[in-house]
Amino acid sequence: MSESSTREKLLQAGKTLFLEKGYNHTGLQEIVKSAGVPKGSFYYFFASKQDFGLAVLKYHLEIFQPFIERQLLGDKEVAPLQRLRNFFEVGCAQLESEQCKGGCIVGNLAQELADQNETFREHLNIALNHWQSLFTACLKEAQDKGDIPGNENVEVLSQFLMNGWEGAILRMKVTKSMEPLHNFLSVLFEKVLSS
Amino acid sequence: MSESSTREKLLQAGKTLFLEKGYNHTGLQEIVKSAGVPKGSFYYFFASKQDFGLAVLKYHLEIFQPFIERQLLGDKEVAPLQRLRNFFEVGCAQLESEQCKGGCIVGNLAQELADQNETFREHLNIALNHWQSLFTACLKEAQDKGDIPGNENVEVLSQFLMNGWEGAILRMKVTKSMEPLHNFLSVLFEKVLSS
C-alpha cells in the first residue's frame, strides 16, 4: 500500500467516524481498525489526534469545495438564485441518500469543538466564512441582475441562509426526515430571496 | 445534604459539563467531583449515564419551559410578534452573558446524540417539537390579527424560525460573536415575518 493511500484511508475512516460519533468519542484504535492499516502508521502521518482531526477537515473541504465553487455556486451559465437552489438540492439529495444521518461534518465539528479547542474553532470559522462568501457572491450577482432588491444587505442575507441551512440539517438529524430541509427551502425562496 | 439537593447538584453539574464538553466526553467521575457529592450517590439516583442524561434534559426543560411558555411566548398582554421578538432577545442576552459559549443544550445534545442513541433522539425530538408548537401558536395568533399574511403556512414558518435560531446559535459559537444572532433577527423580522 502506498504512503498516500494509507494516509487517505485514515482520513476517510476518520471522516466517517467523526460524522457518526463525533471527534472526542472516536478513538485512534477505532480509526486504524476502520481504515484497515497498522496502528503504527497513524503517528507516521499525524503528530497528534488534533493534527489528524484538522487534516480530516482539510480533506473534506478539498473534496467538496472545488465541486461547490466551480460546478454549483460558480457556474456562470446558470442564474445565481438557481445556482443557490441547485446547491441546496444537491445537498438534500446527498443527505436523503444517507438516511438523514451524519449531517454536515463542518457543522458537527463546530458544535462539538468551538468551545473546547481554539485551533479547531479558527479552522472551522475560516471554512464557514469561505463557504458563506460563495453565497454572498451569488446573492450579489442576483442583486446586480435585479433578482433580489437592491437595498438588501447581501452579507447579512448570506449569513442568514448559511446558518439556517446548518440549523435545518441539525433538525433533520433529530426528526430523521427531510421535512426541515424542504421547509427551509420553501421559506428561503418564497420569502427571504423573493424580489 | 438532603436527597433532593444532592440530586439537583448532580443535574446542575451535568448540565454545565454537557454544555461545555458534550455528553460522551463527560465522565461520571467529573460529574460527581463537580457536584461535590460522593461518587456512590450517582447510582443511588440514576440507573445509568443515559438515565442521568435524560434527567439533565428534563431538568433543563422544567426550568426553562414555564418561563418561555407563560412569560415570554404565552403572555397574551403582548402582541404575538413582539412576544417572539422578546423570546429571541432574552435568548440573545443570555448567550451574550455567557460570552457566546455553550449555546443551546437541546441543540448540542441533538447534534451529538441524534444518530447514536434512539432514546435520546426521541426525547430531543419531542422537546424541539413542543418548543416549535409554541412558535406556531404565536404565529397563528399573529395571522389571526393580520400581522402576517393569511396564506402563510404557520407550521412551516415556525419550523423555519426554530431551526434558523439553532443554526444561528451554532454559528455564534464558531464566530464567538453575536453577529449571527443579530443577523438572524434582522432577516427574520424584516423579511420572513413581514406583513
Contact A160 B159 (CB under 8 A): no
If you write DSSP's letter for every residue of A124-163 in order, what string do you get?
HHHHHHHHHHHHHHHHHHHHHTTSS-TTS-HHHHHHHHHH
> How deeply is A38 buried, as exposed, middle or buried, from its count of CB atoms within 10 A (0-12, 13-18, 19+)?
exposed
Q: CA B83, CA B63: separation in Å to the nearest integer?
A: 19
Distance CA A23, CA A134 (A): 27
CB-nearest to A114 from B114, B174, B191 is: B174
Question: Is B101 at the interface with chain A, CB within 8 A?
Answer: yes
Q: Is the pLDDT of residue A1 over 70?
A: no
CB–CB contact B157 A24 (8 Å) = no
Dist. CA B142–CA B158, nearest whole Å: 12
Longest dimension (CA), chain B: 58
The yes-or-no verdict on residue B1 having pLDDT over 70 is no
| Confidence at residue B194, expressed as pLDDT on a 0 to 100 scale | 85
Q: What average pLDDT does this structure show over A119-129?
A: 98
Pick from A102, A115, A187: which is nearest to B115 by CB? Answer: A102
Amino acid letter for position B57: L
How confident is the model at residue A87, as a pLDDT? 96
User: How far apart (Å, rounded) are the C-alpha atoms in residues A107 and A124?
Assistant: 8
Task: Return all residues near B144 (Cβ < 8 A) that are at least 6 apart.
Answer: none
**In a mutagenesis test of the B interface, which of A174, A181, A191 is the best target, namely the one with the most B β-carbons within 10 Å?**
A174
Binned at pLDDT 50, 70 and 90, residue A30 comes out as: very high
Quote the pLDDT of residue A61.
96
How much is the pLDDT for A2? 78
ipTM over 0.90: yes
- Looking at residue B70, its pLDDT comes to 86
Inter-chain contact B111–A116, Cβ cutoff 8 Å?
no
Per-residue pLDDT at A195 exceeds 90: no
- pLDDT by residue (tens digit) across B13-63? 999 999 999 999 999 999 999 999 999 999 999 999 999 999 999 999 999
Inspect the interface and report whether the beta carbons of B174 and A125 lie closer than 8 Å.
yes
CA distance B4 to B2: 5
Answer for the pair B39, B29: CB distance below 8 angstroms, yes or no. Answer: yes
Residues sharing a CB contact under 8 Å with residue A144, sequence separation 6 or more, in sequence order: none
Give B187's contacts in chain A (Cβ within 8 Å): 156-157, 160, 192
Instruction: Give A103's contacts in chain B (Cβ within 8 Å).
Output: 111
Q: Residue B171 and residue A128: Cβ atoms within 8 Å?
A: yes
Taking the Cβ of residue B93 and every Cβ of chain A, the question of whether any pair is shorter than 8 Å is answered with no
Residue of A136, A137, A186 lying closest to A162 (CA atoms): A136
CB atoms A128 and B160 under 8 Å: no
Looking at residue B14, what is its pLDDT?
98
Give the burial class of B186: count Cβ atoms within 10 A of its Cβ; 0-12 exposed, 13-18 middle, 19 or more buried.
middle
Mutation target to probe the B interface, by most B beta carbons within 10 A, among A24, A119, A160, A161 is A160
Predicted confidence (pLDDT) at residue A141 exceeds the cutoff of 70: yes
Dist. CA A173–CA A177, nearest whole Å = 7
In this predicted structure, what is the pLDDT of residue A189? Answer: 96
Residue with cell 450517582: B42
B102, B170, B183 member nearest A167 (Cβ): B170
Query: Are B115 and A191 a contacting pair at CB < 8 A?
Result: no
Q: Are B84 and B136 in contact (CB under 8 A)?
A: no
pLDDT digits (tens, 9 = 90+) for A65-87: 888 988 899 999 999 999 999 99
d(CA B192, CA B195): 9
pLDDT digits (tens, 9 = 90+) for B137-175: 999 999 999 999 999 999 999 999 999 999 999 999 999
Tell whether B122 lies on the interface with A, counting CB pairs under 8 A: no
Cell numbers at residue B69, please?
411558555
From the list B22, B115, B187, the residue facing A160 with the nearest CB is B187
State yes or no: pLDDT of B2 exceeds 90.
Answer: no
In our burial notation (b when 16+ CB lie closer than 10 A, e otherwise), range B21-34 reads bbbbbbebeebbeb
CB A162 within 8 A of CB A91: no
Residues of A in contact with B163 (CB under 8 A): 164, 167-168, 170-171, 180, 183-184
Contact between A173 and B110 using a beta-carbon 8 Å cutoff: yes
Q: Examine the pLDDT at A132 and tell me if it is beyond 80.
A: yes
- Cell output for A127: 471554512
Q: Is the dihedral of CA B46, B47, B49, B54 positive or negative?
A: negative
Scan for cell 443511588, then name that residue. Answer: B44
A with B: how many residue pairs have Cβ under 8 Å apart? Answer: 136
State which amino acid sits at residue B49: K
| Res A170 pLDDT > 80 | yes
CB contact under 8 A, A116 and B21: yes
Tell me the pLDDT tens digit for each residue of B83-133. Answer: 999 999 999 999 999 999 999 999 999 999 999 999 999 999 999 999 999
The rounded percent of chain A whose pLDDT value lies above 70 is 99
Q: Does A103 touch chain B (CB under 8 A)?
A: yes
Three cell numbers written together for B156: 412551516
- pLDDT averaged over chain A? 95
3-state secondary structure of A99: coil
**Domains delineated in chain A:** 1-46 (1.10.10.60), 51-192 (1.10.357.10)
Q: Is A130 on the interface with B (CB under 8 A)?
A: no
- Given CB atoms, is A126 within the 8 Å cutoff of chain B? no
Within chain B, strands assigned E span: none
